[in-house]
A and B are shown apart, each in its own frame.
Chain A
Amino acid sequence: MATAHARGAARVMLSPAVVVLLLWMIVPLGMTIWFSFQRYGLLSGMPPEWTGLTNYRYFLTDPAFFTSIKNTLSLVGGVLAITVVGGILLALLLDQAFWGQGIVRVLVIAPFFVMPTVSALVWKNMFMNPVNGLFAYVAKLFGAPPFDFLAQAPMFSIIVIVAWQWLPFATLILLTALQSLDSEQLEAAEMDGAGWLSRFVHIMLPHLTRAITVVILIQTIFLLSTFAEILVTTNGGPGTATTNLTYLVYAQSLLQFDVGGGAAGGIVAVILANIVAIFLMRMIGKNLEA
Chain B
Amino acid sequence: MGRITLERVAKRFAEVEVIPPLDLEIEDGEFVVFVGPSGCGKSTLLRLIAGLEDVSAGTIRIDGQDATGMPPAKRGLAMVFQSYALYPHMTVRKNIAFPLRMAGIAAEEQERKVTAAAEVLNLTAYLDRRPGQLSGGQRQRVAIGRAIVREPKAFLFDEPLSNLDAALRVGMRIEISQLHNRLKTTMVYVTHDQVEAMTMADKIVVLNAGRIEQVGSPLELYRAPRNRFVAGFIGSPRMNFIEGDEAARHGAAAIGIRPEHIAVSTAGGLWRGTVGVSEHLGSDTFFHVNGTGLAEAITVRAGGEVNLHHGDAVWLTPEADKIHRFDREGLRLA
Residues of chain A whose beta carbon lies under 8 Å from any beta carbon of chain B: 182, 184-185, 187-194, 198, 202-203, 206-207, 290
| CB interface residues, B 11-67, toward A, < 8 Å | 50-52
Across the interface, B73 reaches (CB within 8 A) one of A182, A193, A203, namely A193
Is B85 a contact of A190 with CB atoms below 8 Å? no
Q: Does B230 contact A (CB under 8 A)?
A: no
Task: State the CA gap A95–B36 with chains docked (Å).
Answer: 34
Is B102 a contact of A198 with CB atoms below 8 Å? yes
Q: Does B77 contact A (CB under 8 A)?
A: yes
The contact sample of 20 A-B pairs, CB cut-off 8 A, is A184-B83, A185-B85, A185-B87, A187-B52, A187-B72, A187-B85, A188-B85, A189-B87, A189-B98, A189-B102, A191-B52, A192-B98, A192-B150, A193-B73, A194-B73, A198-B102, A202-B87, A202-B98, A206-B87, A290-B89
Q: Does B103 contact A (CB under 8 A)?
A: yes
Q: Which residues of B contact A290 (CB under 8 A)?
A: 89
Is B102 a contact of A194 with CB atoms below 8 Å? yes
Known: A185-B85, A203-B87, A290-B89. A191 touches B102 (CB 8 A): no
Is A206 a contact of B89 with CB atoms below 8 Å? yes
Task: State the CA gap A191–B44 with chains docked (Å).
Answer: 16
Closest to A188 in B: B85
Known: A184-B81, A187-B81, A202-B98. A192 touches B73 (CB 8 A): yes
Is A207 a contact of B89 with CB atoms below 8 Å? yes
State how many angstroms separate the Cβ of B117 from the closest Cβ of chain A: 14
Is B99 a contact of A192 with CB atoms below 8 Å? yes
Q: Does B79 contact A (CB under 8 A)?
A: yes
Q: Which residue, of B71, B78, B102, B103, has the highest number of chain A Cβ atoms within 10 A?
A: B102
Closest to A190 in B: B72
Task: State the CA gap A21–B129 with chains docked (Å).
Answer: 43
Is A191 a contact of B89 with CB atoms below 8 Å? no
Is B89 a contact of A188 with CB atoms below 8 Å? no
Task: State the CA gap A191–B77 with chains docked (Å).
Answer: 8
Closest to B51 in A: A191
Q: Does B301 contact A (CB under 8 A)?
A: no
Is B103 a contact of A193 with CB atoms below 8 Å? yes
Closest to B98 in A: A192
Is A192 a contact of B146 with CB atoms below 8 Å? yes
| CB interface residues, B 80-113, toward A, < 8 Å | 81-83, 85-89, 98-99, 102-103
Across the interface, B83 reaches (CB within 8 A) one of A182, A190, A207, namely A182
State how many angstroms separate the Cβ of A100 from the closest Cβ of chain B: 19
Closest to A198 in B: B102
Task: State the CA gap A185–B150 with chains docked (Å).
Answer: 17
Task: State the CA gap A202–B81 with chains docked (Å).
Answer: 19
Task: State the CA gap A251–B89 with chains docked (Å).
Answer: 48
Q: Which residues of A contact B87 (CB under 8 A)?
A: 185, 188-189, 202-203, 206
Q: Which residue, of B77, B79, B82, has the highest number of chain A Cβ atoms within 10 A?
A: B79
Known: A207-B89, A290-B89. A191 touches B73 (CB 8 A): yes
Is A182 a contact of B85 with CB atoms below 8 Å? yes
Is A193 a contact of B99 with CB atoms below 8 Å? yes
Task: State the CA gap A235–B237 with chains docked (Å).
Answer: 83
Task: State the CA gap A187–B83 with chains docked (Å).
Answer: 12
Q: Which residues of A contact B78 (CB under 8 A)?
A: 191
Known: A182-B83, A206-B89, A290-B89. A192 touches B77 (CB 8 A): no
Q: Which residues of B contact A182 (CB under 8 A)?
A: 83, 85
Task: State the CA gap A26–B16 with chains docked (Å).
Answer: 65
State how many angstroms separate the Cβ of A196 from the closest Cβ of chain B: 11
Q: Which residues of B contact A185 (CB under 8 A)?
A: 85-87
Q: Which residues of B contact A188 (CB under 8 A)?
A: 79, 81, 85, 87, 146
Task: State the CA gap A243–B286 with chains docked (Å).
Answer: 85
Is A193 a contact of B102 with CB atoms below 8 Å? yes
Task: State the CA gap A86–B71 with chains docked (Å).
Answer: 30
Closest to B80 in A: A188
Closest to B89 in A: A206
Ranked nearest first, the 9 interchain pairs of A and B with the lowest CB-CB distance are: A192-B99, A188-B85, A184-B85, A193-B102, A193-B73, A206-B89, A184-B81, A191-B72, A194-B102
Task: State the CA gap A186–B86 with chains docked (Å).
Answer: 10
Task: State the CA gap A215–B78 with chains docked (Å).
Answer: 37
Task: State the CA gap A192–B98 with chains docked (Å).
Answer: 7
Closest to B104 in A: A193
Known A184-B82, A191-B50, A191-B72; 7 more pairs at CB < 8 Å: A185-B87, A190-B52, A190-B72, A191-B51, A191-B77, A192-B99, A192-B146
State how many angstroms separate the Cβ of B112 from the closest Cβ of chain A: 18
Task: State the CA gap A191–B73 with chains docked (Å).
Answer: 5
Task: State the CA gap A192–B88 with chains docked (Å).
Answer: 16
Q: Which residues of B contact A206 (CB under 8 A)?
A: 87, 89
Task: State the CA gap A193–B71 with chains docked (Å).
Answer: 9
Task: State the CA gap A185–B52 with chains docked (Å).
Answer: 12
Task: State the CA gap A203–B98 with chains docked (Å).
Answer: 11
Task: State the CA gap A190–B71 with chains docked (Å).
Answer: 9
Q: Which residues of A contact B146 (CB under 8 A)?
A: 188, 192
Q: Which residues of B contact A190 (CB under 8 A)?
A: 52, 71-73
Task: State the CA gap A206–B88 with chains docked (Å).
Answer: 9
Q: Which residues of B contact A187 (CB under 8 A)?
A: 52, 72, 79, 81, 85
Closest to B146 in A: A192
Task: State the CA gap A189–B51 with chains docked (Å).
Answer: 13
Q: Which residues of B contact A202 (CB under 8 A)?
A: 87, 98
Is A191 a contact of B79 with CB atoms below 8 Å? yes
| CB interface residues, B 175-216, toward A, < 8 Å | none
